[in-house]
A and B are shown apart, each in its own frame.
Chain A
């Protein structure tokens, strides 16, 4: 039929073949006939052939090669789904010869335009890796590339590939960390699980432990967490420990997923909170976990196991939900046992009576194994809570008269364990048990009673020999374990009460000597040598009493889940309580926080990532909105407080400022505006922490910032918005040459971001590299020589290894002048005087405004505030693009949308004073008219000069 020319017949044949495969029957001899159809046009037939190929290609490698060319052709198909499915099948054929072809295909697919194909590529990576582990290095490259992918479709799959191929390359994650956190909500469910567990591991290596402060907020945490941001912020600041904003981001972005319908997602969020969140925040997972208990039986099993582990460490978490763990008669046995375990863990002085009452019902259960487990649980409660030990003992003794044998046996064993803790007061219980001895047949119980009597024979001097007598009679019928205990009992009695029992002991030892079991023969021989004084031995028999009747410590009854917490919750290893293949250990918290700047993403990247996504309908839905909103709000507030402070301090202290000569002569207002007291800078650092966090958030929000800056006194009427800087290539300047710095080299560049420390500061990124051959320690800024310039130093770098470099950021308030900021850069050994020279273009921050606003503002800044020049321009820069680029490269200005083709407008404000700077370029035939309007005329003229040079250059 497969050879038939009719398609319907072929299809019918293929369906039968697939039926054979499904049943597990061998259909490999049809291989040649099937392979021929691989290029068939019919979609369904094609799919079925694929199914067949994937199943049998491994067995028939040579023939499978025939189909490869078809797939290679399909990889170039214009339809993305065909490309994807070709890659899928190609990578699923496990034929080692085609590894290079696969590698090539994966590399190509990884840069495919369609995210679906890229997702398939991510899957193919794992397949290729399992086929040929030697390709690892190349695959890591592809993974690195795909990790940068911003599509939610790809994220889950590539993290899966990462986990499989190179889980130790944590450095690949750094730069994608924030992106992954933000995307998480929109990734498909299965991807969420994988990403969350990967991020858990990541966070454990990158953040410091939040567990220092313990249980302070134990009670109020619910209200506390309820996303009242202001409140949390203030609470956090009062604490000595400040959580890394990235750490907080992770917790925050995973929290909504607790509401997922997918139980695996909920569980993985729960384990993330358990392993990462501050102790007082973990409680929010409780409700969700309890909800999972209403799911399928299998889900219950896993969730209960995890709850059992959690409940050992933290009873408080689940105590309010205790009733959810009550056993129902319809539960499966393993679920019953787990619930019992949890109830036992949760029991405390307050609720023990309820728990015990519940247990009493369980003891009567028809499921005898479960009843026995309950008795053990009662025993554990009794040891844990000393108040109820007596009650429990009495209850257990009552159970001794139970009709069911397993119940009785279990009670005896538990009583034995309990009695060991306080034997002296309970001789009557021992007597009672001795009485019951004849009726009990379960060997373990009998052995336990014998041991008890032997151990405490001094408390029951009359009964003990009698029991031994009975045992002597039935010795040969007993189980091995009972025989062993009988021998021990005999030995102990011989030592304490040799008069009555000497003969009995002799008899039992003789019986034991000829027993079938070698263990018993061994024991008997040993005991005989030990206790019966003989001519030769005797050295040991002196100590026999001390050996046999040594006081024994009481056994500790503890949960089987006691040490399960060494495994990450929610994993297979945790379920099995042993390491599963491929289990990745969760590391301990690092004692010191590793450098957090590694997660900083260059703005350029953020912009690139963001721009294509703007068009997506989704942006309104996801959390982006949430973040940017709250960020905005806070920023306003921060700006408010900043300006308030400033108002208060302005009049009080005014330090004389030495400005550059030009500035002094030109404008007195500059100095007034820019002179800032120490106090205002203090307030700046005060809000520093909050600002840092906000700014991080803002960066992640990746939305055009809308900072309504209040300190913009110049034009409150116009709606001025800071816009994000246009991306330009980074100009790096040298701060310290490696020769002068004795190995330490420093470079700086202006990041063009609003400074996170203070609104008036310009952020400068410093890169230190150690070119010397010894470690440099404690790099810091010691003295700021230039007066009137506020410098916010970077936190000292503890040490810098040779050949390493590190980037830090600092803030400098240049007071809107180009005067260099000088300071001393110190290492542990030496200090170097350095200075940062700002270019006039870097003193600006871009502003977005409409064309009308621009002309309105320009109208206000006429006369002496305007400086203009005519420049000759090269023809190639006539078009707007290169012109824009030139201007923007030189100065940090924002482009104002213009209606006319030949007029280009740019707007910015001075960072420190907030004065507007407007630049206008009007193109004419062979040149251009350049106008700069600003109230700071020095800046205006300097800017004009610089722009002139830049624009007239070819």
Chain B
């Protein structure tokens, strides 16, 4: 299974190494650097690299390469999934998964890695169990530790690992018992210029923050569960209940976790919350071009569209942009050729517009492909699919918890301007985050 792990930053420094079996020299990473050089961009590094004696499986997250060394046959997804878990665990512990955070907490990182894998096989990957074994650092605790000399290793030994509910620790106590659920939806859609949907689907997740005492048994039901097309659950969810009654029945882990993720299919009409009118053209002569983009809200069910950002990847020949925005402000980075227009809230009365000219490299031929737009947006208090939580019941404990549900809709990339033969240009919502 997983033999060793190297953490490598963007500059190519190996800043952490951990071996679970015998030590493998860090020179094995040279093969990785070779592949990295060939790939040019970090995103293009192949996840599985072959070397004469080992196999390197890597992931790229938060500007860090997690490179694991494998010696024998293993399902690659197994390793990839595990590495992502490690990254998520760092994020959970230190707030962010950056090189600085890892270097600052190198001892905790080491202790974590030691607990997560034994002989290369995952041992404890549930954050609840790990937090019992190794307490996450807080400012208060680090101060107390430095004064009293006590440690951040759990004094009591974890019970969760041994119980029948491995994701929850025993003896949880809160004075305020609360359970919050966030329904977050993201739209993937392709629209053509006339605004008709070519392809649309909704990805949703329900993230939960449950702080309840004891061993509560929750049941969450939806008003319209038939909407959900394809679902995947946290292991705590009883699948049989879902199959038969379409309710989520589970004993929750303590704290934050992702309860389920789901997919709403294109058949169920997806309402697209905004529309875009765009016109980008380059002139054959005179090495210049014109840009004109207008955005407007549409089908938002009375909610405001917020945090609207338009990003345009310009062709390489575009040197500079001279534009005026009626709302928000824009920046153009001539190095990466990215134009960003931060609009903010969409106003029904006054539609935001960005207009102006582009200057092109003189002499260069006019770009054949029109650039595409990516649009980012957010709508609070609305799940665009129409999914609604009906009720949350609790069994097994006596107290009355405080319950809350929040809905958010987001959209990622919004690509337009692709000239499709015999078809008008299209818009493309993509997933980001």
On whether the beta carbons of A294 and B431 are closer than 8 Å, the reply is yes
Interchain nearest-CB distance for A811 vs B (Å):
34
Tell yes or no: B139 within 8 A of A by CB. no
Q: A44-B151, A55-B23, A576-B50 are in contact. Are A294 and B368 (CB under 8 A)?
A: no
Give the A-B contact count at a CB cut-off of 8 A. Answer: 239
On whether the beta carbons of A572 and B75 are closer than 8 Å, the reply is yes
On whether the beta carbons of B73 and A572 are closer than 8 Å, the reply is yes
Tell yes or no: A384 within 8 A of B by CB. no
- What is the 8 Å Cβ interface bit string for chain B, positions 134-172, against chain A (1 contact, 0 not)? 000000000000000101111101100110111000000
Residues of B within 8 Å of A223, CB to CB, are none
- What is the 8 Å Cβ interface bit string for chain A, positions 33-46, against chain B (1 contact, 0 not)? 00000000011110
Residues of B within 8 Å of A573, CB to CB, are 73
Contact residue among A22, A357, A571, A617 (Cβ-Cβ distance under 8 Å from B73)? A571
- Chain A 251-304 residues near chain B, CB threshold 8 A: 256, 259-264, 266-268, 287-288, 290-291, 294, 296-299, 301-303
Chain A residue with Cβ nearest B25? A24
Q: A261-B261, A264-B75, A582-B72 are in contact. Are A291 and B18 (CB under 8 A)?
A: no
Complex Cα distance A617/B251, Å? 12
Interchain nearest-CB distance for B75 vs A (Å):
5
On whether the beta carbons of B369 and A120 are closer than 8 Å, the reply is no
Tell yes or no: B232 within 8 A of A by CB. yes
Residues of A within 8 Å of B59, CB to CB, are 296, 298
Contact residue among A11, A227, A323, A329 (Cβ-Cβ distance under 8 Å from B372)? A329
Which stretch from B299-307, B351-359, B378-386, B415-423 is at the chain A interface?
B415-423
Which stretch from A311-319, A330-338, A686-694, A776-784 is at the chain B interface?
A330-338
Which stretch from B235-243, B285-293, B325-333, B340-348 is at the chain A interface?
B235-243
Tell yes or no: A504 within 8 A of B by CB. no
What is the size category of the interface that chain A forms with chain B? 35 or more
Tell yes or no: A345 within 8 A of B by CB. no
Tell yes or no: A512 within 8 A of B by CB. no
Residues of B within 8 Å of A576, CB to CB, are 48, 50, 55
Contact residue among A55, A262, A328, A571 (Cβ-Cβ distance under 8 Å from B81)? A262
Complex Cα distance A193/B22, Å? 25
Residues of A within 8 Å of B246, CB to CB, are none
Complex Cα distance A301/B233, Å? 22
Between-chain CB contacts (< 8 Å), 10 pairs: A44-B153, A58-B23, A153-B161, A264-B75, A264-B80, A267-B75, A287-B230, A364-B368, A575-B48, A580-B73
Tell yes or no: A126 within 8 A of B by CB. yes
On whether the beta carbons of A360 and B75 are closer than 8 Å, the reply is no
Contact residue among B44, B61, B106, B230 (Cβ-Cβ distance under 8 Å from A19)? B106
Which stretch from B9-17, B176-184, B276-284, B399-407 is at the chain A interface?
B9-17
- What is the 8 Å Cβ interface bit string for chain A, positions 107-132, against chain B (1 contact, 0 not)? 00000001110001001101100100
On whether the beta carbons of A55 and B73 are closer than 8 Å, the reply is no
Complex Cα distance A301/B58, Å? 12
Tell yes or no: A403 within 8 A of B by CB. yes
Report whether over half of chain A's contact residues are helix, strand or loop; otherwise say mixed. helix
Tell yes or no: B298 within 8 A of A by CB. no
Complex Cα distance A415/B164, Å? 64
Residues of A within 8 Å of B130, CB to CB, are none
Tell yes or no: A79 within 8 A of B by CB. yes
- What is the 8 Å Cβ interface bit string for chain A, positions 20-39, against chain B (1 contact, 0 not)? 01111000000000000000
Residues of B within 8 Å of A366, CB to CB, are 315-316, 369
Chain B residue with Cβ nearest A578? B50
Tell yes or no: B31 within 8 A of A by CB. no
Residues of A within 8 Å of B82, CB to CB, are 190, 264
Q: What are the nearest 3 A-B pairs in CB distance? A: A8-B149, A582-B72, A44-B151
On whether the beta carbons of B149 and A11 are closer than 8 Å, the reply is yes
On whether the beta carbons of A616 and B164 are closer than 8 Å, the reply is yes
Tell yes or no: B84 within 8 A of A by CB. yes
Residues of A within 8 Å of B372, CB to CB, are 329
On whether the beta carbons of A23 and B203 are closer than 8 Å, the reply is no
Q: Which of A43, A116, A330, A616 has the most CB of B within 10 A?
A: A330
On whether the beta carbons of A360 and B421 are closer than 8 Å, the reply is yes
On whether the beta carbons of B107 and A299 are closer than 8 Å, the reply is no
4 further A-B contacts with Cβ under 8 Å, apart from A19-B106, A364-B369, are A18-B110, A22-B16, A185-B239, A268-B75
On whether the beta carbons of B122 and A190 are closer than 8 Å, the reply is yes
Tell yes or no: A7 within 8 A of B by CB. yes
Chain B residue with Cβ nearest A360? B421
On whether the beta carbons of B55 and A24 are closer than 8 Å, the reply is no
Which stretch from B91-99, B111-119, B387-395 is at the chain A interface?
B111-119
Residues of B within 8 Å of A79, CB to CB, are 157
- Chain B 64-106 residues near chain A, CB threshold 8 A: 70-78, 80-82, 84, 106
Tell yes or no: A94 within 8 A of B by CB. yes
Contact residue among A88, A263, A302, A357 (Cβ-Cβ distance under 8 Å from B420)? A357
On whether the beta carbons of B420 and A190 are closer than 8 Å, the reply is no
Tell yes or no: A581 within 8 A of B by CB. yes
Complex Cα distance A403/B153, Å? 64
On whether the beta carbons of A357 and B421 are closer than 8 Å, the reply is yes
Complex Cα distance A92/B22, Å? 9
- What is the 8 Å Cβ interface bit string for chain A, positions 608-636, against chain B (1 contact, 0 not)? 00000000111001010110000000000
Interchain nearest-CB distance for A364 vs B (Å):
5
On whether the beta carbons of A47 and B26 are closer than 8 Å, the reply is no
- Chain B residues near A (Cβ < 8 Å): 1, 14-19, 21-23, 26, 39, 41, 43-44, 46-48, 50, 55, 58-61, 70-78, 80-82, 84, 106-107, 109-111, 114, 118-119, 121-123, 125, 149, 151-155, 157-158, 161-162, 164-166, 190, 199, 203, 229-235, 238-240, 243, 258, 261, 263, 313, 315-316, 365, 368-369, 372, 413, 415, 418-423, 428, 430-431
Q: Which of B48, B73, B114, B149 has the most CB of A within 10 A?
A: B73
Contact residue among A51, A120, A288 (Cβ-Cβ distance under 8 Å from B230)? A288
On whether the beta carbons of B46 and A572 are closer than 8 Å, the reply is no
On whether the beta carbons of B44 and A333 are closer than 8 Å, the reply is yes
Complex Cα distance A426/B418, Å? 33
On whether the beta carbons of B81 and A263 are closer than 8 Å, the reply is yes
Q: A120-B118, A259-B231, A263-B81 are in contact. Are A80 and B73 (CB under 8 A)?
A: no
Residues of A within 8 Å of B315, CB to CB, are 366
Complex Cα distance A189/B17, Å? 25
Chain A residue with Cβ nearest B265? A287
Chain A residue with Cβ nearest B251? A621
On whether the beta carbons of A7 and B149 are closer than 8 Å, the reply is yes
Residues of B within 8 Å of A625, CB to CB, are 240
Complex Cα distance A22/B59, Å? 19
On whether the beta carbons of B239 and A47 are closer than 8 Å, the reply is no
On whether the beta carbons of B22 and A94 are closer than 8 Å, the reply is yes
Q: A160-B121, A360-B421, A623-B240 are in contact. Are A299 and B77 (CB under 8 A)?
A: yes
Tell yes or no: A157 within 8 A of B by CB. yes
On whether the beta carbons of A24 and B26 are closer than 8 Å, the reply is yes
Tell yes or no: A584 within 8 A of B by CB. yes
Residues of B within 8 Å of A123, CB to CB, are 118-119, 121, 123
Q: Which of A80, A262, A625 has the most CB of B within 10 A?
A: A262
On whether the beta carbons of A260 and B21 are closer than 8 Å, the reply is no
Complex Cα distance A42/B151, Å? 9
Residues of B within 8 Å of A124, CB to CB, are 119
Tell yes or no: A361 within 8 A of B by CB. yes
Interchain nearest-CB distance for A132 vs B (Å):
14
On whether the beta carbons of B73 and A581 are closer than 8 Å, the reply is yes
- Chain A 330-388 residues near chain B, CB threshold 8 A: 330, 332-334, 357, 360-361, 364-366
Residues of B within 8 Å of A88, CB to CB, are 118
Q: A44-B152, A190-B78, A190-B122 are in contact. Are A301 and B47 (CB under 8 A)?
A: yes
Chain B residue with Cβ nearest A626? B240
- Chain A 115-165 residues near chain B, CB threshold 8 A: 115-116, 120, 123-124, 126-127, 130, 153, 157, 160
Contact residue among B58, B81, B233 (Cβ-Cβ distance under 8 Å from A259)? B233
On whether the beta carbons of B232 and A260 are closer than 8 Å, the reply is yes
Chain B residue with Cβ nearest A583? B73
Tell yes or no: A741 within 8 A of B by CB. no
Tell yes or no: A599 within 8 A of B by CB. no
